[in-house]
Amino acid sequence: MQTSPATPTEVIESLDVGDHRNLSRLSVRALLGFALMGFRFVTRRTYSVRPMGAPEIVHVIANPVAHGAALSSAVSDSLSGMKVARIADARLADPTIGVDFDAAGLSPRSMSAILSRGHLARAIRLRTSTPRSAVRSLSTSWLYSEYLFVAQAVRYFVAEDVLATIPDSTTVLTDFDRHAYARPWVVAAKRRGLPTVTMMHGSPNARYYVPVLADTALVWGQAQVEWLSRHSPDTVARTIGRPELEAGITDTTPLKRAIVCHSAEDLTSGEANRMASAISMIQARGIRVSLRLHPSATSGAGATWSPVQNIADETIMSRGSFVASLAPGDGVVVVTSTSAVEALTTGYRVLVLADAERDLPSDLEAMRSLPSNTVETFLNDHEIEHSFREGIVAHTGEEARRKLKSVLAQQGVSLRRVE
């Protein structure tokens, strides 16, 4: 019998990336979580896993809303005709996602659906064998740290149980393998010997995306292939592009509006000055500047963004599809926001103003290094080399969907690197 992949170190490391790190009222959440755990410990002895039959693909969806829902829908369209079992937190998932197995995230209310005495007892035994200092590192709230550890351990045991019911030939696909939601499924699948594949939910960066856990990474273009060869050299990279995005014709309309995309990052003094200088040059041409806040920025852009926010013509909240909000004559200015990739792919001009020393996501790194990445070019010339754009996102729409299906239709993904 195989040992469980849910070791103390694995559970703790799996909580390094995820939405649970950006929440408030942590002690209240933990108290609710433990109350529900106590209730389930008394009322539900075991958690019965409903067999999923014999799927060709198990699709684990870490982000089932907004961009994540659009990506999930594109995957579903891509895999038409294949037997796919979709795993997501059904309580939070967008209605467009057909969830086949409700696998809770770390939210106490979601977790209640899968809690049982058997899994909780195993999780508690695992906790007693884990140093207190290691668990305390998970959060500023000691009570929430304890809740996170026990809840994530339960999720590992559920993933093991579910994956034990599927054929050895099934491929496990996720949108983001290092996310706290998806990682238990990827680790359990690898322990079982199942092929594992991850998509790129966003432009990969060294902090959150590497080393890649899955056997194979489905990347957007050559820029990501080269980046992964440096940062995760054992990963097999297959280029499929972006199935949820449609490429646009280059917008040749003179610049009418510059959209500065905030990504909740802290600007250095050099970046703040560079951004303020660029905005002044843009406004001197009579062009409107909009500061678009990140969805998480409910209380403003942050102190380091004050020089930018003070001189922008307007500040807008991020709502709905970013690409759908763009119009002829728009240009996009960023420091670390990967909205620049969507803008470039759909035909709009882009300017990256990050410091040369800043560690950027792979695609922004490639954009920053272009000789044409200057304010003057942004203002005057909108020339996007076709080869460069394809190097960032090689395929979109239907073509990308065909590429995705072609890769996943192969049983047992090749371990040979495909450049």
At residue 278's C-alpha, the angle toward residues 261 and 283, to 5°, is 95
Cα 223 → chain centroid: 18
At residue 36's C-alpha, the angle toward residues 31 and 38, to 5°, is 95
Q: Distance between CA atoms of 337 and 360, rounded to whole angstroms? A: 9
Does residue 219 have a pLDDT over 50?
A: yes
Instruction: Give 416's pLDDT tier (boundaries 50, 70, 90).
Output: very low
Residue 237's pLDDT is: 97
Does residue 51 have a pLDDT over 90?
A: no
Q: Looking at residues 47-73, what average pLDDT do you find? A: 91
Instruction: Give 2's pLDDT tier (boundaries 50, 70, 90).
Output: low
- What is the overall mean pLDDT for the chain? 93
Architecture field, domain 8-239 = 3-Layer(aba) Sandwich (3.40)
Q: Considering the chain, what percentage of its residues have pLDDT values greater than 90?
A: 85
Residue 410's pLDDT is: 79
71-82: per-residue pLDDT in tens? 999 999 999 999
Residue 335's pLDDT is: 98
124-157: per-residue pLDDT in tens? 999 999 999 999 999 999 999 999 999 999 999 9
Distances from the Cα of 397 to the Cαs of 202, 205, 246, 325, 343, in angstroms? 17, 24, 5, 19, 15
Residue 73's pLDDT is: 96
Do the bridges between strand 171-174 and strand 101-102 make them parallel or antiparallel, or are there none, so unpaired? unpaired
Does residue 16 have a pLDDT over 60?
A: yes
In the sheet with 349-352, reading across from the earlier edge strand, the strands are 314-317, 288-293, 257-261, 330-334, 349-352
339-361: per-residue pLDDT in tens? 999 999 999 999 999 999 999 99
Domain 257-392 in the same topology as domain 8-239 = yes
Residue 413's pLDDT is: 42
Instruction: Give 198's pLDDT tier (boundaries 50, 70, 90).
Output: very high
Residue 419's pLDDT is: 34
DSSP codes, 306-373: HHHHHHSSEEEE--S-HHHH--TTEEEEESS-THHHHHHHTT-EEEE---TTS---HHHHHHHT-TT-
Q: Looking at residues 78-90, what average pLDDT do you find? A: 96
CATH number for the domain whose boundaries are 257-392: 3.40.50
Report yes or no: 21 and 145 within 8 Å, Cβ to Cβ: no
Q: Provide CB contacts within 8 A for 386, sequence distance 6+.
A: none
Does 142 or 415 have the greater pLDDT score? 142
Q: Looking at residues 189-194, what average pLDDT do you find? A: 95
Does residue 114 have a pLDDT over 70?
A: yes
Does residue 418 have a pLDDT over 70?
A: no
Extents of the domains making up the chain: 8-239, 257-392
